[in-house]
Chains A and B, each alone.
Chain A
């Protein structure tokens, strides 16, 4: 027993610092996945053709939607992989318990999600610049809603909240899988199976999920919904983690 009283916040802070320095693989994967997303986006996110008397109009549409999508996927996968035993046991190099370990991981995920969202949105400028200078053609450039500061900040917040939401889902899924390795197969089968069963009875979970979050046009309500869902998923992950075996 130690005579020095250890404060939870101090331990969490130290563990965040440690994770920041040790888990740099997540940054490499972020850069790689966003560059990959940028390369895919160079082909255009979509295009449309329209004919009218004497005109044949073809519009190629560029956005960093693919990069944002990849970043959301990255958030999910990173959180999932941070729950693996190799990562969790790193924390035992410090004075720790499950609470501080989970808190520091969530805080670390929060930080990297901010970075992921910020770089994903900044990459849209790189994409547009590349498309403008490098892609062939005499096309005329049309823009809409690019460069306005107000909407950009709200968009940034929304992107972060979405990435963080999916990271919480990944963290929860990862914790569940840690209970038993077989769950890595059983969990997706159960989830997809349930979705199919519910679909057959006329209830499309994925549609309701996306409508609930992504068709919310009120920024405050969107923030509330995503934060509430994220908190619930992380709380569930903590509950699940309490059932994991104790470090010997």
Chain B
């Protein structure tokens, strides 16, 4: 552990000594003296130019980021999302529908079983409607996950299963997303107030909306843990 803690200092010290030996005139290390030094530089420069040309010329299938997401915009969008969900205005959040389910159901009572709800934070909303008589409908909505304006394509969704009069909501498989982000070096970021950012400024959108919206027939008795869901009152 101690060695690891002192590693940066040791590396810097090694670099310092190595450089001093290479540059110092009285040093016995003649490596890179004479024309070899110039040839080394030319070879290295040629290699760098070639890599720059390849990087810029070949489409690498990369995604150019637009810039940091405005957190306030995301917060406002999230608020609008939840307002729309709580008032049952599904048409307004249609673009964020990820999945839908439909189950035949003719029981008097629905047992709602939500597993690990506290960990996975699935927000459940139930709407009672006259439109349905012997069917249950469920929709999963989620506003996109954004990384500096880049919309993540992979979508998380919970799993639902109906057994007799019990509707079970399981957490979906957690998506492990890994990204390589290639940014500009710090001298570039000095004068770039708008788009310039360091890796620490990279934002994964915090303000998001997700909701499992279940429509049940009017008058159905829903049995669930306290605070497991929010009753929706369409406006």
Are A154's CB and B175's CB within 8 A?
no
Give A120 to B52 CA distance when docked, in angstroms. Answer: 12
List B contacts of A122 (CB < 8 A). 45, 48-49, 51-52
Are A63's CB and B185's CB within 8 A?
yes
Supposing A59-B181, A64-B185 touch, asked if A142 and B147 sit within 8 A by C-beta, the answer is yes
**Chain B facing A: main interface SS:** mixed
A247 contacts chain B at the CB level, 8 A cutoff: no
Scoring B residues 16 to 54 as 1 if CB is less than 8 Å from chain A, else 0, what string do you get? 101110111110000111111110110011011101101
Residue of chain A at shortest CB distance from B176? A56
Scoring A residues 151 to 185 as 1 if CB is less than 8 Å from chain B, else 0, what string do you get? 11011101100100000000000000000000000
List B contacts of A58 (CB < 8 A). 176-179
The tally of residues in B whose CB lies under 8 Å from a CB in A reads: 81
Residue of chain B at shortest CB distance from A87? B25
B55 contacts chain A at the CB level, 8 A cutoff: yes
Are B182's CB and A143's CB within 8 A?
yes
List A contacts of B25 (CB < 8 A). 25, 81, 84, 86-87, 90
| Residues of A131-157 contacting chain B, CB below 8 A | 131-132, 135, 137-147, 151-152, 154-156
Residue of chain B at shortest CB distance from A53? B121
Q: Nearest chain B CB to A227's CB is how many angstroms away? A: 15
Please report B residues at the A interface, Cβ cutoff 8 Å: 11, 15-16, 18-20, 22-26, 31-38, 40-41, 44-45, 47-49, 51-52, 54-56, 60-65, 67, 120-122, 145, 147-148, 150, 152, 156-157, 171-172, 174-188, 190-193, 195-200, 202, 204-206, 208, 210
Please report A residues at the B interface, Cβ cutoff 8 Å: 24-36, 40, 45-48, 50, 52-65, 68, 70, 73-74, 77-78, 81-82, 84, 86-87, 90, 115, 118-126, 128-129, 131-132, 135, 137-147, 151-152, 154-156, 158-159, 162, 214, 216-219, 222
**A-B CB proximity, top 5 nearest:** A28-B32, A24-B37, A54-B156, A61-B199, A155-B188
